[in-house]
Amino acid sequence: MKPLLNKTTKPFIIYVLIILGISIPVYYGVVDMIWKGELDEHNKTIAEKTAYEFNHLKLSDEELDKSILLWKSIQPETNIERVTLDTLKRDLYFTIEKPELFTTEFQIERYRGLKKILYINNRPFLFTIQTNIEESQEMIAVIAITTVFFFFIIVLGLLLLNRRLSVTVWEPFRKTLEELKNFNLNHHNNIKFEITNIKEFEELHQSLNKLIDHSVSVYKRRKEFTENASHELQTPLAIIKYKVDILLQDENLTEKQYLIAEDINHALTRSARINKDLLLLTKIENNQFDSSEKISFDQILNQSIELLDEHFNQKNIVVTSNIASNIIVNGNSSLIEILINNLLINAIRHTHYNGFISITLRDQSFEVANSGTEKLDDKLLFKRFSKLSKNNKGTGLGLSIVKEISKHMYWTIHYTFENNNHIFIVNL
C-alpha cells in the first residue's frame, strides 16, 4: 500500500514531464521565430546604413561602381547590383540552406536573407544580404538540456515538499488514525480529536464523533440485552427444568407420561446449553473478555485431557498426545479453556468407537486430529447450527464458538482432511 501523497505525486510528475516534453519544440519554434525577426531587423539596418554611407560619399558613377565591386569582394554573403525600378515591389525576406564553402568539413548552414531596393545617387540598386542563423541542432540540444535540468529541479522540489507536507499537513490525520486504533468499546474511553484549521479534517472529526457516539450507544444496549437475557432466560428455564425433575420423580406417572417428561427434560437441557452458548458468542463479539493475561496453554490443555478421560474411555478411543511445555500465550483463560474443550469434545463426538484422537501442541500451533471416513463441508463447518453429522447431542455452536474465540485472540483456525483424519489446526 502506498501513501496518499505518492498516489497524487506520480500523475503530477507524468503531467509535468509531458508538458515539458511538448515545450521543447515550442521553445525552439518561438526562439527561432524571434531570432529570425532580429536577423531581419539586422539585415535591414545593414542595407540602409550601406546606402546611406555610399550616398554620403557623393561618388561619381565610375567611382561608385568601383566601390561596389570592392565592397562586394570584402563583404561575404552580400550583393549590390543595378536594377530597374520594377524589379522588386517590396522587401523580400527568405531563409535558405547551403553548404559552408570556407570550412574543411562539409556542413549545411541556414541563412536568413533580405532583398531590398536601395537608392544610391538616385539610382535603384538591388541589395541582397544573407546572415547565418545559429545551428538548429545545437539550439534544440541546449533547450532540451535546460528543460530536463529544470524538470529534475521541479521533481526534486516536489518530493521534498511532499515529504515536508506529509509531516506537517497530514499530522492531524495521523493522530486521528492513532486515536481510532487505540479506541476500545470495552473501556468506554472518549476520543478527543485535535482541533485543526483544516476544514476537511474538522468535518472528519465531527463525523467520527457522531459515529463513535452511535457505536457506544448500540454497544451499551447490546450489552444490557446480553446481561438481561442471561438472567431473564436462564431463570425460567431453570424453574421449568426443576419442575420437570420433580415430575419425573412422581411414582404415579405412566410409562408414556414418563417418556414425554423425559423428552421435555432433554429439550430443556439442550435449550439451556444453546442459550448459554449464544450468550457466550454475544459476549465475545462485544469484546467483553479481557485478553491481556499470560496463560500457560499446555497446563490448561493437560487439565482438559484429564477431565475428559472418562469420555475417551466410554468410546474406547486411543488418545496420543505430543504437548510441548511452557507454551505461554496472551489471552483469556476462560476462553482458551472453552476453545480447547470444544475442539476435544467435537473430536470425541465425531469419532467412532475404537477410533483414535491425536493432540499436538507446539510453539505456534495447537492441533486436534481424529479418525473419520469423509471430509466435512468447509463452507458449513464454522456456521452456527450447521449439522455436519447425524449426532444431535450438540448445540451446533461448538465450532462457531471456537472460530469466534480464535478471531478474538487474533489466531486463525484451519480444517483439513488427510489420510482419513479430520484435522483442526489453531495457529497461535
pLDDT reported for residue 134: 66
3-state secondary structure 216-258: HHHHHHHHHHHHHHHHHCHHHHHHHHHHHHHHHCCCCCCHHHH
At 205, is the pLDDT very low, low, confident or very high (cuts 50, 70, 90)?
confident
3-state class (DSSP) for residue 296: strand
Residue 52 CA to chain centroid, in angstroms? 76
Provide the 8-state DSSP code for 87: S
| 279-to-151, 224, 227, 232, 267 alpha-carbon distances in Å | 65, 12, 9, 12, 18
pLDDT digits (tens, 9 = 90+) for 281-301: 777 776 777 777 888 999 999
412 sits in which H/E element: strand 412-418
316: amino acid identity, one letter: N
Which of 100-104, 146-150, 157-161 comes out lowest in average pLDDT? 100-104
pLDDT value of position 110: 84
User: Per-residue b/e over 304-339, b at no fewer than 16 CB within 10 Å?
Assistant: bbeebeeebeeeebebeeebeeebebebbeebbbbb
pLDDT (0 to 100) of residue 75? 77
Name the residue type at position 121: N
Cβ neighbours around 359 below 10 Å, total? 22
**What pLDDT score was predicted for residue 101?**
66
Q: In angstroms, how far is CA 341 from the centroid of its own chain?
A: 41
**Least confident window among 162-176, 218-232, 345-359:** 218-232
- Quote the pLDDT of residue 227: 67
Predicted pLDDT at 369: 94
Question: Does domain 293-427 bear CATH number 3.40.50.720?
Answer: no
Mind listing the pLDDT tens digit for each residue in 305-343? 999 999 999 999 999 999 999 999 988 888 999 999 999
CB under 8 A, 24+ apart: contacts of 196-200: 196/172, 198/169, 198/172
- Name every residue whose Cβ is closer than 8 Å to that of residue 6 and which is 6 or more positions away in sequence: 162
Which residues touch 263 (CB under 8 Å, ≥6 apart)? none
DSSP alpha helix (H) spans, 296-365: 297-307, 309-314, 333-349
Question: Which CA distances in Å does 250 have to 178, 241, 247, 257, 267?
Answer: 65, 15, 5, 10, 20
Residue 27 in this model has a pLDDT that exceeds 90: no
- Main-chain phi, psi angles of 59, to 5 degrees: -90, 155
**pLDDT averaged over every residue in the chain:** 83
Cell numbers linked to 336:
482458551
Q: What is the pLDDT of residues 361-399, one digit of tens each?
A: 998 899 999 998 888 877 778 887 766 555 556 667 888
- For the entire predicted model, the pTM comes to 0.49
Using alpha carbons only, what angle is made at residue 369 by residues 365 and 370, rounded to the nearest 5 degrees? 165
Q: Where are the domains of the chain?
A: 4-142, 240-285, 293-427
Q: Which of 288, 297, 300 is nearest to 225 (CA)?
A: 288
